[in-house]
Amino acid sequence: MNTKTLVFLLLCLSLFFASCTNDDDGIIAQPSGDYANGLLISHEGNFGQGNASVSYVSYDFQTVENNVFSNVNGTPLGDSAQSIAFDGDLAYIVLNVSNKIEVVNRYSFESVATITSGLNNPRYMAIANGKGYVTNWGDGGDATDDYLAVIDLSNNAITSQVISVEEGPEKIVGDGNRLYVAHQGGFSQNNIVSVIDAMSNSVSATIEVGDVPNSMQLDAAGNLWVLSGGKPAYTNDETAGKISKINTNTNTVTSLDFAMTEHPNLLNIDNGQVYYYLAGSVYKMDATAIALPTSAQLTGLNFYGMLVENEIVYGLDAVDFSSNGSLNVYDLNTNTEVESIELNIIPGEVYLN
């Protein structure tokens, strides 16, 4: 034989070794190190797939940079960037599935610290009384292990303090020495806002709102506006969405109800106007109105996140969750789209920087 056959065998095998090639062809954008005067957009990425990211878009839309964190720091950001909180020069990026918070300089995006302990399904963070408060679901299937983790902002470490709260704490807003926590309900549905006393680190009051409070914001007068989506149809106990206005001095609530099958989200307050997103449209309502608007400002949208600032709507479209999403910008004076910028996978929240 045999030499011939052997040579053939060796040839076949050598083909395989030859095919070990490096195909590092990822294009890394040059980090500018200057992420002021623009928007920061957190991208959840796909659950479990570690493709969370943050993008920067300058206010004039001329500069766009995706993967800012990994460009600057050379390491991937993590899994499922749920939200970002800010304190002074620092940004706190909450990574839900990684169970960590990446602390960076908000303008250079250089890593300052990584908080990896004391978190279990972290969602959102707010600042009060000089400390950071992070909502945590605990185990999604367990309704009794939800809590707020408390961060010492002087050294960016988790304190031993744990504030147990009701099921499904989600959005959190700081107000001096108080915090408001919207209990969306995690994998279930809840209908309360907890008031946290940041001096004693305890729950000082519980305010009932609509089912599934998904967004909230303080207005200039100090009222807390809470938008609840209502229970979805699949629960076989569908309820209507609701806008609640909480007087933060008295904790009294006034509210407006949506129709039974209407499930709004993404509440924003801008210049005395209340904005929200409902079934592909953005609606605008005067803060003093006594009835919900009947016609929409913008229609035909597909928003997963939204920020309204100075009559500009910054909408995030996550498309089909496996293609690149986009930032779509609308001018509310003309109700027209002024910009559309392709971003990364599943953009979720947009912030001013």
Among 188, 204, 324, 335, binds other proteins (CB under 8 A): 324
Contact status: 344 vs other proteins (CB under 8 A): yes
Q: Is 237 helix (H, G, I), strand (E, B) or coil?
A: coil
Q: For 178, list phi and psi in degrees, rounded to 5.
A: -120, 160
Tell whether residue 74 is a contact of other proteins (CB under 8 A).
no
Positions 153 through 172 that interact with other proteins (CB under 8 A): none
Q: Which residues pair with 278 in a beta bridge?
A: 281
DSSP string of 143-167, one letter each residue: TT--EEEEEETTTTEEEEEEEE-SS
Which of 85, 274, 318, 329: binder of other proteins (CB under 8 A)? 318
Exactly one of 3, 5, 30, 249 binds other proteins (CB under 8 A); which one? 5
Taking CB under 8 A as the rule, does residue 2 contact other proteins?
yes
Residue 142 binding other proteins, by CB under 8 A: yes
Q: How far is the CB of 304 from other proteins (least distance, A)?
A: 8
Residue 77 Cβ vs other proteins, minimum distance, rounded to whole Å: 8
* Closest to 191 (Cα-Cα) out of 255, 268, 111, 142: 255
Nearer to other proteins, 196 or 343 (CB): 343
Q: Is 229 in the site for other proteins (CB under 8 A)?
A: yes
Q: Interface with other proteins includes 141 (CB under 8 A)?
A: yes
Q: Smallest distance, Å, CB 145 to other proteins?
A: 9
Q: Of residues 37, 177, 252, 323, which one binds other proteins by CB under 8 A? A: 323
> Which of 229, 228, 268 shows the shortest CA–CA distance to 350?
268
Q: Is 88 in the site for other proteins (CB under 8 A)?
A: no
CB 36 within 8 A of CB 86: no
Edge-first strand order for the sheet with 324-331 is 305-309, 312-317, 324-331, 336-345
Identify the three-state secondary structure at position 42.
Answer: strand
Query: Which 3 state secondary structure label does DSSP give 264?
Result: coil
Among 34, 89, 139, 208, binds other proteins (CB under 8 A): 139
How does strand 131-136 pair with strand 100-105?
unpaired
320 binds other proteins (CB under 8 A): yes
Distance (Å, whole) CA 92 – CA 114:
9
Write out the residues near other proteins by the rule CB under 8 A. Answer: 1-2, 5, 9, 12-13, 16-17, 19-24, 26, 45-46, 48-51, 76, 78-80, 97-99, 139-142, 229, 232-234, 263, 265, 279-280, 302-304, 318, 320-324, 344-345
